[in-house]
Structure 1
Amino acid sequence: MGVTPLIWIITIAVTVAFFIWEFYAHVRTPHEPSIAEAAKWSVFYITLALIFGVGVGMVSGWQFGGEYFAGYLTEKALSVDNVFVFLLIMTAFAVPKMYQQKVLLIGIAIALVMRGIFIAVGATLISNFSWVFYIFGALLLVLAYRQAFASHDTDPQNIGIVKFARRHLPFVDQYHGDKLSVKIDGKRFFTPMLLVIVAIGFVDLIFAVDSIPAIYGLTEEAYIVFTANAFALMGLRQLYFLIGGLLERLIYLAQGLAVILAFIGLKLISHALKINELPFINGGEPVKWIPEIPIWFSLGFIATTIIVATVLSLLKTRKTAKATPEVTEEKTEEVAS
């Protein structure tokens, strides 16, 4: 793709600038964003991501443009699951809505740093060890299975790192605005806000394990991996406030993401077989008969899976909502009789 160090520096600088601007323009003054505000900025970031993808296609070719769009779509889908867990954490710790923006922005910044580290490590491994595709593929298949049968019932306050922080640091039970610590009677205490950020940071690390191998199954270009992740995360704060209520209706989201992860996992393993160098597989020779899955097919498969999971979820929850009043009426009649 021919990305120079200067382009990398400019890209990272612009990304950091966006986060700084987000803080001063939207987060510095605590408030709960309206649906209109969240929708407006969500559209802005999605449009920005699409324009960037078109730019990649026009400058570097549509093979790379397709890889970017497939990666961005995958990361955006995974980020919706990320939003759901953020919502659970905010609820478990009873974070006042007016302070949730700051927590989200810090959490998203941590997520981008975590993924940046994973991207660098992944790029190094891929460039030096072709067999790493086997590991990434197997990891995604395991994660797909766990995603399909995932349960979000775990109390975020019982996360090991949160319990460790409670045991070893002095905490107060009340929030003091959006402060992470407060001085009481000359002694420094931490507020529950720090625990929330610790929990979100830990979740970000877990999600990085999912997302980075997944996108490396669609492209080997570290620049595309980084930019797709950056754009997916940029609009995550607004997405949280925009679809917070809708998340409960996306009951098949986990299964849809599991299908995507499994597909990419199989794609990684097939790619590993095509470039195989392991002596105990096919005598150390590439398995040439395996067909290459084109990027247009991957993009279409991912988009179709997301659409099907969303439509089926909405149809199911709508049907359940219609059936619920009927059941309630029957019970009322029984009590009355």
Structure 2
Amino acid sequence: MDVAGWVWGLTIVGLVGLLAFDFFFHVRKAHVPTLAEATAWSAGYIGVAVLFGVGVFVFGGADAGSQYVAGYVTEKALSVDNLFVFLLIMASFRVPPEVQQKVLLFGIAFSLIVRTGFILAGAALINTFAWVFYLFGMILLVTASSMLRPEGGEEARKADNAMIWLAKRVIRTSEHYDGDKLVTTLDGRRAMTPVLLVITAIAGTDVLFAFDSIPAIFGLTRDTYIVFTATAFALLGLRQLYFLIDGLLDRLVYLSYGLSVILWFIGVKLILHALHDNNVPFINNGKPVEVVEIGTGESLLTIVGVLVVTVAASLLSRRGRAQTAIANATRYATAYLDRDDTRSDAERERIFMMLINECDQLLALDAGDGQLVRDEPELIELLDRAAADHAGVGYTRSR
């Protein structure tokens, strides 16, 4: 799709405008978004992405439009996987709920800038070296396999820790938050608050995920403009999506399997395309190989189909319900017992009531799913501590 320079310019200005609007009219004042608020903003960003897709269909044709939709859906699905790690980062830094919006917005804005560089570099490599498709395909196949290993996420967190260590060495930082401020005063000197470190962790994590998502979208389209816009719109709505599906993330127990299938599919698609356009000397004497190529329509149907089946299986599964209740109970108990943050007594009481609700969910589980609870001694001990702190009655004593 031929895109004029002025269209690129308008697109970039529009994306920057969306970020600025988001900051000044929503994030600038620190607060915890309600479910209705998160839903409205998520719907707004998805609506903008859909309208842009309609424009691609109208001005670029059906093929370009299908490539944009496939790219956007894939990037959005991979972004949901990022949210699991974002939750861990927020919990490990004990980020106050009202500060999380600003952290996510700045982290995503930084990662968008870095991803743009990756996209331009990837496009240049593809236009210069045909063998890059083999490389991208192998990266996706390896990534798809690693997603099925429980320790896969640990590597990303270790990388984040390295970035945070470097930030601490270079920048003077305080140990405590000062609202949502980036800068505070420490011993009479100005210092950066932990907010900067959390933004660094969020941005660093998203950059690491880019090594998977950028090859994936190039497997669906080689149009740099479509790659850029699909990636940008998927990232822009990530903050709202975080607050909208926070309670559902742990319910998506089969999401990693679905994403693994999608990455395997795109990886195979890339390798088939590389064979079709082959010029590598040691493969078929540098001549193209006659193979079946997978079209955009088939790719879109496969991606959407896998995601629908994965999400439906997760939401309907008893394991998903149990996993959600266990994860939420752990989160609320930890938050309630954490006295080093800025939560008021009223907020702690609200958290305890939410914990009680999750405990009721756990008690309602049947014998099969209840075994999951009994296999979590750390959770039971945590619930006992929270109950003893509040009323002196342990959760396990009631079972």
Report the AA paired with residue 134 of structure 1.
Y
Q: Deviation of residue 88 (structure 1)?
A: 1.2
Q: Deviation of residue 46 (structure 1)?
A: 1.1
Counterpart CA distance in 2 for 1:142 and 1:153 is 16
Match of 1:326 in 2: 366
Counterpart CA distance in 2 for 1:108 and 1:309 is 26
Match of 2:287 in 1: 285
Counterpart CA distance in 2 for 1:133 and 1:195 is 36
Counterpart CA distance in 2 for 1:272 and 1:150 is 31
Q: How does 1:191-270 map to 2 (within 5 A)?
A: 191-270=193-272
Counterpart CA distance in 2 for 1:5 and 1:319 is 50
| 1:111-158 deviation digits (Å, cap 9, x = unpaired) | 211110011001101111111000000011111111122444679587
* Secondary structure of the structure 2 residue equivalent to 1:148: coil
Report the AA paired with residue 81 of structure 1.
D
Contact 1:150/1:254 (<8 A) preserved: no
Match of 2:305 in 1: 304
**How has the CA–CA distance of structure 1 residues 79 and 155 changed in structure 2, closer, same or farther, with 3 Å as cutoff?**
closer
Counterpart CA distance in 1 for 2:237 and 2:204 is 20
Q: Deviation of residue 168 (structure 1)?
A: 4.5
Contact 1:114/1:204 (<8 A) preserved: no
Q: How does 1:85-164 map to 2 (within 5 A)?
A: 85-151=85-151, 152=153, 156=157, 159-164=161-166
Report the AA paired with residue 100 of structure 1.
Q
Would you say how many aligned residue pairs link Structure 1 and Structure 2? Answer: 334
Counterpart CA distance in 2 for 1:128 and 1:153 is 35
Q: Deviation of residue 45 (structure 1)?
A: 1.3
Match of 1:26 in 2: 26
Report the AA paired with residue 207 of structure 1.
F
Query: Which consecutive residues of structure 1, in runs of 5 or more, have no partner in the other structure?
Result: none
Counterpart CA distance in 2 for 1:90 and 1:144 is 26
* Secondary structure of the structure 1 residue equivalent to 2:147: helix
Report the AA paired with residue 67 of structure 1.
Q
Contact 1:148/1:254 (<8 A) preserved: yes
**How has the CA–CA distance of structure 1 residues 191 and 147 changed in structure 2, closer, same or farther, with 3 Å as cutoff?**
same
RMSD (Å) for aligned C-alpha atoms:
2.4
Counterpart CA distance in 2 for 1:128 and 1:42 is 38
Match of 1:177 in 2: 179
**How has the CA–CA distance of structure 1 residues 77 and 155 changed in structure 2, closer, same or farther, with 3 Å as cutoff?**
closer
Q: State TM-score, norm by structure 1.
A: 0.93
**Which range moves more in the overlay, 165-174 or 96-105?**
165-174
Q: Deviation of residue 262 (structure 1)?
A: 0.9
Match of 2:352 in 1: none
Counterpart CA distance in 2 for 1:145 and 1:278 is 26
Query: Which consecutive residues of structure 2, in runs of 5 or more, have no partner in the other structure?
Result: 326-360, 375-396
| 1:49-89 deviation digits (Å, cap 9, x = unpaired) | 11211211121110111000000000000110112211111
Match of 2:191 in 1: 189
**Which range moves more in the overlay, 143-152 or 238-247?**
143-152
How high is the sequence identity, in percent, across the aligned residues? 50
Contact 1:86/1:200 (<8 A) preserved: yes
Counterpart CA distance in 2 for 1:268 and 1:222 is 16
Match of 1:314 in 2: 315
Contact 1:38/1:238 (<8 A) preserved: yes
**How has the CA–CA distance of structure 1 residues 255 and 2 changed in structure 2, closer, same or farther, with 3 Å as cutoff?**
same
Report the AA paired with residue 174 of structure 1.
H
Match of 2:347 in 1: none
Contact 2:82/2:209 (<8 A) preserved: yes
**How has the CA–CA distance of structure 1 residues 319 and 246 changed in structure 2, closer, same or farther, with 3 Å as cutoff?**
closer
**How has the CA–CA distance of structure 1 residues 69 and 279 changed in structure 2, closer, same or farther, with 3 Å as cutoff?**
same
Contact 1:252/1:310 (<8 A) preserved: yes
Counterpart CA distance in 1 for 2:22 and 2:31 is 13
Counterpart CA distance in 1 for 2:320 and 2:112 is 36
* Secondary structure of the structure 2 residue equivalent to 1:183: strand
**How has the CA–CA distance of structure 1 residues 126 and 16 changed in structure 2, closer, same or farther, with 3 Å as cutoff?**
same
**Which range moves more in the overlay, 158-167 or 126-135?**
158-167
Report the AA paired with residue 292 of structure 1.
E
